[in-house]
């Protein structure tokens, strides 16, 4: 367990339990809490332009994240978008929504 806590990209066990299918990356992931992740997932859930489900949240900036959603499968239709935390609430950056086929590189 101590190894997990020292991982710079780790999230709390509460987040992993509540959102087992979501991956996390970025140097600020330790600052996320369950409420943050819930808000981000709900933003995607309620926007018809975003392919579901959310499968990755990348937090490279303190109050801004890139989110990848859609089936985590090569060639599937997916969406990438950005969110920003303002006054304690996460908001969707409208112009950042980009939907297309996903391609993974090695």
pLDDT, tens only, 53-99: 999 999 999 999 999 999 877 888 999 999 999 999 999 999 999 99
Q: Is the pLDDT of residue 6 over 90?
A: no
| Confidence (pTM) | 0.86
82-99 burial: b if 16+ Cβ within 10 Å, else e: bbebeeeebebeeeebee
> pLDDT digits over 9-31, tens only?
689 999 999 999 999 999 999 99
pLDDT score at 26: 95
Q: Is the pLDDT of residue 106 over 80?
A: no
Rounded Cα gap, residues 44 and 48, in angstroms: 8
Between β-strands 23-25 and 54-61, what pairing exists: parallel, antiparallel or unpaired?
Answer: parallel
Using CB atoms within 10 Å of the CB of residue 81, give its burial: 0 to 12 exposed, 13 to 18 middle, 19+ buried: buried
**Main-chain phi, psi angles of 93, to 5 degrees:** -85, 100
């Amino acid at each position: 367990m101590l190894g997990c806590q020292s991982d710079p990209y780790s999230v709390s066990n509460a987040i992993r339990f509540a959102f087992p299918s979501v991956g996390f990356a970025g140097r600020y992931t330790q600052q996320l809490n369950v409420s943050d992740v819930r808000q981000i997932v709900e933003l995607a859930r309620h926007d018809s332009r975003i392919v579901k489900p959310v499968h990755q949240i990348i937090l490279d900036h303190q109050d801004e994240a890139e989110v990848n959603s859609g089936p985590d499968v090569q060639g599937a239709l997916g969406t990438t978008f950005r969110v920003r935390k303002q006054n304690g609430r996460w908001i969707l950056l409208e112009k950042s929504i980009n939907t297309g086929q996903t391609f993974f590189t090695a």
